[in-house]
Amino acid sequence: MKLSLTQLKAVVALYVTSNKISVDSFTATRDNSVNLLDTLGKIYTNWQNYNDKLDIFDGEDLSFGKTIEEWAQDLILPEDFDATGATTMAPHESTYRPVSFSYTLGKKTIPQTIRNNDIERAVHNIGQFEDIITGKTKAMYDSETLLRYQIKRQALGVLIDRCIYAMTSTNADVTLATEGASISGAHSVNELFYVTATTSMYILVKPIASGAGLTGTTAIANGYLVKLDLIKEVAKPADSTTGEDFIEAVLADEEIASDVSEGHSLNGNTLGGNPEAGLVLVTLQGVIPALKVKTYAGAFNREDLALPAEIKTIPDFGNASTDYYAVLVDRRIMRVHNTYRAVRTNENGQGDFLNMFYHTENTAHISRNCFVRVYKIPAVSNS
């Protein structure tokens, strides 16, 4: 019979049916003249690759100790020259930001069992057997890779939450009704102050002694209170206009981060631009494709829209709100240090199997003395 495409389509539709492709149960057949079980022709798997896209935040392994302590020294205010040398012999002690600590996240164990005389009965040859055994081992290491990847995403979420906390007026230790209100009592560094007149959060970077007579105005003017600026509201890129607005915001923040600034770290301290360290822009998925399609594609001078940072795109910032969709950070701001990594085994002779346990322990640290900018979807006004 002469083949026609229409008839061929009908024949193949009957020949290639859904109940013969990728079904999740096996029905034994004996479709041969000897009435033996029909043999499986192939056993295989598609190996997957699991990568940690935030490996730039890997810290060195810590062989001894689990806790991390961070310190940062203040700069020194120049003084008038004293030709008499009257103050020469007096001590001039360095001052420091409050130290911060990170503790171990604790040990996690990834278990795996290999049974003897088990897989052998299901495979055709040693190659198939080795593939399955290799897969069991690979799964443990891949699981640890994804664990560390998720730790970093969650740690970035913690960083976002710390910024939210620092910028929330209800968390201020003292709320100054007006910018000129009196500050009473002694205050130590890193206290948060909310100034109603400017609707801004300030962080205390120099101790105020009791009875110093400072007001909100003089404390700001004399550098005791530094304005915190950690979160910027800008629309999430969705078209050329919002895309350009976002790029403009990142470019403006890059200028700040590459120069000397105050108020752009959790400690609010003076930061020096560090081009050697570089900046990293971490965004939720969906941001960069919108920029490429809606903004870059129609740009006459694309180089003018180039983002000045290494870009990492991730699914989430842990369980942080999705209203916060990007962070621009000094790449040194976070490190995840492994403090223990080992595979242990025990053999169960009675049960005739081998248990393997991949032990891992990590300490994650967020620096309070590095540049950070969090980008947030603007709040919708009810007016």
Per residue in 305-316, pLDDT (tens digit) is 567 889 999 999
Summarize pLDDT for 60-99 with one digit per residue, the tens: 999 999 999 999 998 888 888 888 777 667 788 899 999 9
- The bridge status of strand 372-376 relative to strand 231-233 is parallel
Which tokens belong to 382? Answer: 């009810």
Summarize pLDDT for 219-273 with one digit per residue, the tens: 999 999 999 999 999 999 999 899 989 999 999 999 999 999 999 999 999 999 8
Q: What is the average pLDDT score of the chain? A: 91
pLDDT of 236 reads 96
Count of domains observed in the chain: 1
Strand partners, 231: 374
Residue 113 lies in a domain: yes
Residue 151 lies in a domain: no
- The bridge status of strand 324-330 relative to strand 372-376 is antiparallel
Summarize pLDDT for 13-54 with one digit per residue, the tens: 999 988 889 999 999 999 999 999 999 888 988 999 999 999
Domain, as residue range, for 244: 50-73+98-118+231-378
pLDDT band at 381 (very low <50, low <70, confident <90, very high): low
pLDDT of 308 reads 80
Residue 162 lies in a domain: no
266-268-273-274 Cα dihedral, nearest 10 degrees: -30
The larger pLDDT score, comparing residue 295 to residue 160, is at: 160
Residue 19 lies in a domain: no
pLDDT over 90, % of the chain: 74
pLDDT of 159 reads 98
pLDDT of 253 reads 95
Q: What residues contact 135, with CB distance under 8 A and at least 6 apart?
A: 45, 47
Residue 15 lies in a domain: no
Residue 180 lies in a domain: no
DSSP character string of 315-346: S-STTS-TTEEEEEEETTSEEEEEEEEEEEEE
Residue 189 lies in a domain: no
Cα separation, 182 vs 219, whole angstroms: 10
Residue 86 lies in a domain: no
